[in-house]
Amino acid sequence: MGLAQEKLQADYDKLKAEEGEKSAKLAELSLQIDRREQAKQDLKGLEETVVCVYDSADAAQDKSYVFLCHLDLWILLQENKL
């Protein structure tokens, strides 16, 4: 192999390694985005549930039920911290 060809091969190998690193980083970032989106959807569903519970509690005037819902919400949020 000539010197020029060896340099081209070294450059190619370096670029191939960089491409692999960037591809792995992209996959990691994509996974993080997916997890954040899922967490947002989960929290939105939780918010809708809490609103529904508050509406039910207001209609029934059941303050102890509201307290228990607060406690359940707090526990769920602690388990699903981002």
Write phi, then psi, for 65 (nearest 5 degrees).
Answer: -65, -40
Note the pLDDT tens digit of each residue in 1-11. Answer: 689 999 999 99
Note the pLDDT tens digit of each residue in 32-61. Answer: 999 999 988 988 888 888 887 777 766 666
Structure tokens at 31: 């996974």
What is the Cα–Cα distance from 11 to 22, expressed in whole angstroms? 16
Measure CA 4 to chain center.
Answer: 47
**Torsion (CA) 37, 28, 80, 60 in degrees, nearest 10:** 10
What is the Cα–Cα distance from 69 to 55, expressed in whole angstroms? 12
